[in-house]
Amino acid sequence: MLRRFSLHLSLFSLSAALFALAFPSYLHHGGLYPLAYIALIPFFIAVNRISWWSGPIWGAFFGFLSYALLNYWLANFHPLAIFIVPVIYAGYFLALVPALQLARHWFPRWGFLVQLVFWMAYEYFRTLGFLGYSYGIIGYSQYQLPWLVRISSVTGVWGVSALVLFPSVLVAWIITGWTGNPSRAGLYAEFRRYRGAAGGYLILMAAVAIAGAGLRVDLQDTPTVRMALVQQNIDPWQGGTRAYRRSLDVLMRESRAALESDPDIELVVWSETSFVPSIDFHRRTRTQLESWELVERLLDFLEDQPVPYVLGNGDRQLRRSAQGDLEAFDYNAVLLMQGREIVQTYRKTHLVPFTEHFPYQRAFPWLYRLLVENDTTFWEQGEDLTVFEAAGIRFSTPICFEDTFGYLNRHFVREGAEVLVNLTNDSWADSVASAMQHMGMAVFRAAETRRSMVRSTNGGMTTLIDPNGQIVDMLPAFVEGHLIVDVPVYTESDTLYTGYGDWFAYLCSIAAAVMLGTAFYRGFRQLTDRRKAVQNK
């Protein structure tokens, strides 16, 4: 019993470690992406061996451990964060592992494909709703392979995930079958049984490599817009007015330096909430002297600038309630500034759960109170998908977490965005791995939509990603500086993903529902037949 427990503990722990290392991590900031193809072999071997009653327990263990290792940097934000996310994934795997066990039991020949489909449905559904979270989708580990990333222009990241996951489920299936006849002849028999599946996968990967090369677009004659992306490396949320002032000093200094070094710059981009006091609110009310003085200083600076500025701002709006009282509503926003004027505004529509948004105050008042007591800043949810117009282009600005969702960036492009400009502040994580995990997902947004993705961040990773999913240029993390980039404005063709969205994930989810229903039906039939057999004796 102890030996069996130790074996399963080792398998699940090894898989959780390999899974985390496949992504950017503390040990390797770029991520060891080849590990993704084998990382889950120990996991699936264990799933195929454990008892029914222990499945949920081991699932919860793997979900908690794998996400604690993957998102270790959440501890730098708040101790609650590194607890909440792994607990959520413990819950997900508590349900997923029994489903994977059903696939093993009720589909003895092709159950590895059923397991693959179940996993794909899990990856998709965990990005939906209030708890939607994209970190750890296994396809994102491949951001360094542009030829593979470009397949997402057809299937979204989900097709890449399926290709990465397949070797793990197949090899684990073969090894599990071999343990029933642990001999050289048994291993050879299992390999012969599934050599068609292995050969088909290799052929498919070769076809994907060819297709990935064919999906590359020629950007040689594509028009460009020159942008300066400013990375101030100061988190303005830490320290109040003093931090706001220091941040503004760096932003102005780096912007001036960029424009002096290159007069052809057409647009300057600052990061998410690079300037915290609400420009619109304080310009209209002037009730807080220190904040107003900072706003006036910023506006004086912008008035003398020869180009438009895009900057992140905490946007406060006043509205009258039904009782006639003025109420303040705060938004995480992006402003397009031309001189002293706010030309256009985008207010973040997909908020981060728990840290920016918690709609269940009445249902869970104790949790809401706990979040408030721990200095959580809640934002109101924006409604409009703004498409900005400046420097002769149309662009949209997903804010921070929003560039991790394919659906949202697809909608921006469908609304007319020619370039995606992400404004991010990941400084709170104090982790290069965190910034690299985030940037790796942005690579897929560029490839999915075949539009350039520009990222202007507080501390990293400030980047230009071209429409082919290729990282063109990037500032080092956690340095003060600016990056001048010529951004390709490619609009010659749209992608299947832009047109039809997460169709591949939908198909996997439908197939998973059908297969799960089939498994339950077979179980019900077997139970009914047993009862009839007992009654007939």
Peptide bond before 252: cis, by omega within 30 degrees of 0? no
Active site residue 272: yes
Q: Give the three-state DSSP class for 479.
A: coil
Number of CB atoms found within 10 A of residue 209's CB: 14
Task: Tell me if residue 400 is catalytic.
Answer: yes
CA–CA distances in Å: residue 249 to residues 236, 289, 328, 472: 11, 19, 28, 28
DSSP, res 400: G
Of 374, 406, 383, nearest to 333 by C-alpha is: 383
Separation CA 515–CA 423 (nearest Å) = 41
Give whole-number Cα distances, 382 to 128, 322, 344, 399, 529, in Å. Answer: 18, 21, 14, 11, 56
Separation CA 62–CA 20 (nearest Å) = 12
Of 254, 348, 418, 508, the active-site residue reads 348
- Residue whose tokens read 């959520």: 88
123, 190, 266, 272: which is the annotated catalytic residue?
A: 272
- The residue from 400, 402, 418, 448 that is catalytic is 400
Instruction: Measure the CA angle with vertex 341, ends 338 and 342; round to 5°.
Output: 90
508 tagged catalytic: no
| In contact, 374 and 207? CB cutoff 8 Å | no
b/e map of 247-283 (b: 16 or more CB within 10 Å)? bbebbbebbeebbeeeeebbbbbbbbbbbbbbbbbbe
**How far out from the chain centre does Cα 39 lie?**
20
CA atoms within 13 A on the CB side of 191: 7
Residue 507 half-sphere exposure toward CB, CA atoms < 13 A = 10
Q: Which of 479, 461, 481 shows the shortest CA–CA distance to 261?
A: 481
C-alpha count within 13 angstroms, C-beta hemisphere, residue 103: 25
DSSP states of 484-497: EEEEE---S---HH
Q: Which residues pair with 337 in a beta bridge?
A: 309, 342
Cβ count near 68 (within 10 Å): 20
In this structure, what are the phi and psi dihedrals at residue 326, rounded to the nearest 5 degrees? -80, 130
Of 325, 314, 237, the closest CA to residue 281 belongs to 314
Give the C-alpha separation, 149 to 141, whole Å: 10
Give residues with Cβ within 8 angstroms of 325, minimum separation 6: none
> Which of the residues are catalytic?
272, 348, 400
